[in-house]
Amino acid sequence: MAASRSIIVSGAGIAGLTAALALSRRGYRVEVHERGKRIETAGAGIQLSPNALRVFDKLNVLDAVKRVAMSPDGVRIVSAHNGKPIRTVPLGASAIQRHGIGYLTIHRSELAQALVTACNDDPDIELQTGSTVSDAVEHANGISAMVTRGTSVRTHRGTMMVFADGIHSAGRKEAFALPGARHSGFEAWRGMISAEALPPGFDLENTQLVWGTGAHAVLYPVRKGRYLNAVICIETPDRSQTQPREGDAAELMHRLRGWHKPFRQLFELAREWPVWPLLEMPPKDTWHHGRMVMIGDAAHGMLPFAAQGAAMGIEDAEVLAAMVERHGASEKALDAWENLRRKRVLEVAALARRNGRIYHMRWPGSAARNLVLSLTSPAKLADRQAWIYDWKP
């Protein structure tokens, strides 16, 4: 296929793989280069909301995702201090009724597998692992990028360059000369607990959102209920750490010392606790110039407190392909894309920050928060997410 119909994607994360599928469906040939020797699936579980699932439906990967995903009945909000439920926001059948499509939780490796299989089945997508993109430049007829594979370094040409290279994006720094992500003052401890080890009667039907002081936890089943995925987000004064580190369970227990004992006993069941610094991209930067564009975390990495980071990358990918279909692989398409994306993505990122403040409130604010929440109907709480979940490709 001519270079004029060929698009290069740097990074095979959720955003890059979705972009490849969406662009190839519009008649483009897509080269996806992934630096890792295999597709990275670190980080355990992920929640997929209706807005993201609609894109997967359009790209014919929803059935494969559903086969391995779980569908929680709701989000049960619980106090970290006494374990008492505060309110449940309905999902499951209620999400299908409200939004026409469900709300799923899935292990990242299973999501990656579904996307990779769809890419490998598509003759117009070439997915290369162990393949690092650098030095992308624009010229009169398109773009060229250096691709390093082992000892070989080759120039690849295309009509458009998509950087989906994540929160530590090299494209952002090299091709856009923009500053990288900054530490948010939060870190996420991520553990997996075997369902067999859970105490009798443990609620695996709902996602649990546990609100503590300066920390919260999100618990939900993955791998068809065989594991509980636990993410504990904690405020930290140390903003120097920008890469994941191995966490120490004793340190975690110390930091959650005010938490209800059954939660602490639950967390002791995880074998390891990798700790991820939570980074955010500066909100003001532009996400494209010429025929080069950043999508997903590379453009707008955000706090995970609205469970929307990947969903925004999935939406980015679909809208990008739609604009390329309408305007050709051109700067005009990227202008149109950014106009459609910017406001929504920044509002979702702001919501995630606001959620952090609400989830981590100190007393007496937390008591007022819990009272207001317990007086709000579950249906009203579900309505608050509609502006995010009702988005359609």
Ligand X SMILES: Cc1cc2nc3c(=O)[nH]c(=O)nc-3n(C[C@H](O)[C@H](O)[C@H](O)COP(=O)(O)OP(=O)(O)OC[C@H]3O[C@@H](n4cnc5c(N)ncnc54)[C@H](O)[C@@H]3O)c2cc1C
d(CA 351, CA 306): 7
Cβ neighbourhood burial of 384 (10 Å; 0-12, 13-18, 19+): exposed
Segment 77 to 136, residues that bind ligand X, using CB under 6 A: 132-133
Residue 318 CA to residue 337 CA, distance in Å, equals: 10
- Angle of CA points 58, 21, 35, to nearest 5°: 145
**Site for ligand X (CB under 6 A): which residue of 16, 72, 74, 356?**
16
Mention every residue, 6+ apart, whose C-beta is less than 8 A from residue 3. Answer: 141, 142, 157, 158, 159
Cβ neighbours for 252, distance < 8 A, ≥ 6 positions apart: 189, 232, 267, 273
Which residue, 146 or 328, has its beta carbon nearer to ligand X?
A: 146
CA 17 → CA 48, 119, 308, 329, distances in Å? 16, 7, 17, 18
CB-based closest residue to ligand X: 13
C-alpha separations of 357 from 72, 76, 252, 312 in Å: 25, 19, 21, 21
Instruction: Give min distance, CB of 43 to ligand X, in A.
Output: 6
Quote the least distance from Cβ 275 to ligand X, whole Å. Answer: 10
> Taking a C-beta distance cutoff of 8 angstroms, is the pair 259, 212 a contact?
yes
Chain residues 193-252 in contact with ligand X, contact rule CB under 6 A? 231
How far apart are the C-alpha atoms of 143 and 132, rounded to whole Å?
16
321 touches ligand X (CB under 6 A): no
Of 15, 193, 333, 348, the one binding ligand X by CB under 6 A: 15
In the complex with ligand X, which residue's Cβ is closer, 16 or 142?
A: 16
The single residue among 26, 35, 76, 223 that binds ligand X, judged by CB under 6 A, is 35
- Asked if 40 interacts with ligand X (CB under 6 A), we say yes
- If the CB atoms of residues 200 and 294 are measured against ligand X, the closer one turns out to be 294
Q: Which three-class secondary structure state does DSSP give residue 141?
A: coil
Return the closest-CA partner of residue 265 out of 163, 197, 168, 190.
Answer: 197
How far apart CA 337 and CA 323 sit, in angstroms, is 6
Instruction: Work out how close the CB of 293 gets to ligand X at its nearest, in angstroms, rounded to a whole number.
Output: 13
Q: Which residues of 281-294 are buried (b: 16+ CB within 10 A; e: fewer)?
A: beeeeebbebbbbb
Q: Which is nearer to ligand X, 29 or 172 (CB)?
A: 172
Q: Which of 227, 276, 287, 337 binds ligand X (CB under 6 A)?
A: 276
188 touching ligand X, by CB under 6 A: yes
Q: Which is nearer to ligand X, 190 or 223 (CB)?
A: 190
Q: What string marks each residue from 348 to 377 as x (binds ligand X by CB under 6 A) or -?
A: ------------------------------
Residues 133-152 vs ligand X: string with x where CB under 6 A?
x-------------------
Please state the closest distance from residue 45 (CB atom) to ligand X, in A: 7
Specify the amino acid at residue 365. Answer: G
Q: For residue 196, what are its two tokens? A: 């067999």
Considering the complex, state which of residue 212 and residue 309 has its C-beta at the smaller distance from ligand X: 309
Taking the complex as a whole, the smallest distance from the CB of residue 19 to ligand X amounts, in Å, to 9
CB of 385 to ligand X, least distance (A): 13
Amino acid of residue 389: Y
Among positions 207, 308, 366, 385, the unique one binding ligand X when judged by CB under 6 A: 308
Of 74-82, 92-100, 163-171, 373-381, which segment contacts ligand X by CB under 6 A?
163-171
Task: List interacting residues with ligand X (CB under 6 A).
Answer: 10-16, 33-36, 40, 46-47, 132-133, 164-167, 170, 188, 190, 231, 276, 278, 296-298, 304, 307-311, 313
